[in-house]
Amino acid sequence: MNEQQMVPILIDEFISGLVVPVDIYVKLSEGKFVLIAKQGTKTQKDQLASYQNKDVNYLWIEKKDYHKLSNQTIQLAGIILNKSDVDSGTKTQVVTAAAHTMFRHLEHMGLDGVVFSQAKQIAEVTYQLVETHSRISSLMDSLNQCSDEVMRHSVAVSAVATMIGVAHKWQGKGTMEKLALGGLLHDIGKKALPPELLKKPKALMSFEETQLYETHPFKGMEMATGLGLVPDDIVAMIYQHHENTMGLGFPQKLRDIKTHPFARIVALADEFVNLTIANPNCPEPKPPREALNYIQFVKGQPYNKEAFRCLKLIVDTEQKSTRSA
Ligand SMILES: [Fe+2]
Ligand SMILES: [Fe+2]
């Protein structure tokens, strides 16, 4: 088995008694792996503990299967988060775990390592902060009531937006936290949309359905302002994340100059995530470089120039490291 095709997973991340959606291996030596659990079998507490006793901290899965494991974690997060008897501290931990999973998914795309790890730290600290802000915590609850799909997407947009902020060399802690949080909450208005509509590819929506779909930034903005004291920057990211530089976005058709600088970043992160992580509109996601080419040459790069330059820097590192490998 080629090591390049394998991904290590901390043993602690496997939950005992759960049916695993992937084949699991133990690494014997460089490039040598042995299958210990087949897809569809249940993980046993004793078995996991026995490996830890032998100082094995990681189990391995095939890279091509990674998304199945991350989907399971996110689904699990959704189940826990929807239980009303779970306290907000536990919920934050679960969101952080889901974010961790999604961050690793992004990491395997090969984006810039330094930018990536800084963004990861910022996002994780930010999610911990949510517990202490009751209004934001209530928005987070709304996000948790959305589908797994929205949750997965939101965590990924938060991660990519934060990476763009890091690549921008934005320094302020508050700035970066707002970016991470706004990325996480940008689609909160989708809670008000029928779940069937969210499963439908946009190309198949009727005129009325498209109109309804395009209300989600406004509905999200209403939810956030209704709570009072949610920072304006976060409200702007929710309301303006579908605007673009050409003034062809929605709901206000605002040109770049009139949108909030954070919203410009979330708009690009949103598009990039939609192209690189499977969803109803893009069942076969593109590698990051292809996604950038698509934004640039097919869509005519309708996003903020500086934000796009930063995203390119993050992705180009992947190209450099692939070429030098
Ligand atoms: Fe959206
Ligand atoms: Fe979105």
Q: Is the same domain home to 201 and 252?
A: yes
Classify residue 90: in a domain, yes or no. yes
Tell me which ligand sits closest to the C-alpha of residue 269.
2
Query: How many Å lie between the centroid of ligand 1 and the Cα of residue 321?
Result: 32
Distance CA 136, CA 114 (A): 29
Using one digit for the tens of pLDDT, what is the confidence trace for 17-26? 667 788 888 8
Residue 78 lies in a domain: no
Ligand 2 centroid vs 65 CA: distance in angstroms? 25
Would you say 109 and 289 are in contact if contact means Cβ atoms under 8 Å apart?
A: no
Average pLDDT rounded to a whole number, residues 174-192: 88
Angle at 103 between CA 262 and CA 110, to 5 degrees: 95
Ligand 2 center to 167 CA (angstroms): 21
Q: Are residues 10 and 125 in the same domain?
A: no
164 inside domain: yes
Q: Which ligand is nearest to the CA of 151?
A: 2
Report how far ligand 2's centroid is from the alpha carbon of 100 (Å).
19
Asked if pLDDT for residue 229 goes beyond 60, the answer is yes
Confidence class for position 240, pLDDT limits 50, 70, 90: very high
Between CA 120 and CA 208 the distance in angstroms is: 39
- Do 178 and 63 belong to one domain? no
Q: Residue 217: nearest ligand to its CA?
A: 1
Give me the pLDDT at residue 307, please. 96
Among residues 67, 98, 120, the one where a domain terminates is: 67
- Give the distance (Å) from ligand 2 centre to CA of residue 146: 12
Residues 63 and 90 in one domain: no
User: Are 60 and 97 in the same domain?
Assistant: no
| Residues 315, 259, 120: CA angle, nearest 5 degrees | 35
The residue with greater pLDDT, 149 or 165, is 165
Q: Report the candidate in 275, 278, 310, 280 with the shortest Cα–Cα distance to residue 295.
A: 275
Q: Determine the distance separating the centroid of ligand 2 and the alpha carbon of 273, expressed in angstroms.
A: 8
Both tokens of 137, joined, read 């915590």
Please report whether residue 275 resides in a domain: yes
Choose one of 67, 101, 119: the last residue of a domain: 67
Average pLDDT over residues 115-122: 77
Same domain flag for 57 and 96? no
For residues 242 and 251, the answer to whether their CB atoms sit within 8 Å is yes
Q: For residue 183, which ligand has an atom nearest its CA?
A: 2
Q: Return the pLDDT at 219.
A: 95
274 within a domain of the structure (yes/no): yes
Residue 144 falls inside a structural domain: yes
- Domain count for the chain, please give it: 2
Residue 72 lies in a domain: no
Asked whether residue 58 is domain-assigned, the answer is: yes
Q: 183 and 111, same structural domain?
A: yes
Task: Say how far apart CA 109 and CA 277 lie, in whole Å.
Answer: 10
- Supply the pLDDT for residue 227: 78
Indicate the average pLDDT of the chain: 82
Among 67, 94, 121, which residue terminates a domain? 67
Instruction: Based on the fold, state whether residues 57 and 90 are members of the same structural domain.
Output: no
* Average pLDDT of the segment spanning 62-80: 67
Please report, for the domain that includes residue 168, its CATH number: 1.10.3210.10
Higher pLDDT, 264 or 134: 264
The answer to whether residues 242 and 111 belong to one domain is yes
Domain range spanning residue 61? 3-67
pLDDT above 70: residue 128: no
- Of residues 99 and 293, more confidence is placed in 293
237 CA distance to ligand 1 middle (Å) = 10
Domain check: are 164 and 282 in the same one? yes
Q: Assess whether pLDDT exceeds 70 at residue 243.
A: yes
Residues 24 and 128 in one domain: no
Same domain, 51 and 92: no
CB 235 within 8 A of CB 219: no
Percent of the chain past pLDDT 90, that is, above it, reads 31
Confidence of residue 321 (pLDDT cuts 50, 70, 90): very low
3-class DSSP string for the chain: CCHHHEEEEEHHHCCCCCECCCCEEEEEECCEEEEEECCCCECCHHHHHHHHHCCCCEEEEEHHHHHHHHHHHHHHHHHHHCCCCCCHHHHHHHHHHHHHHHHHHHHCCCCCHHHHHHHHHHHHHHHHHHCCCHHHHHHHHHHHHCCHHHHHHHHHHHHHHHHHHHHCCCCCHHHHHHHHHHHHHCCHHHHHCCHHHHHCCHHHCCHHHHHHHCCHHHHHHHHHHHHCCCCHHHHHHHHHCCCCCCCCCCCCCCCHHHCCHHHHHHHHHHHHHHHHCCECCECCCCCHHHHHHHHHHHCCCCCCHHHHHHHHHHHHHHHHHHHHC
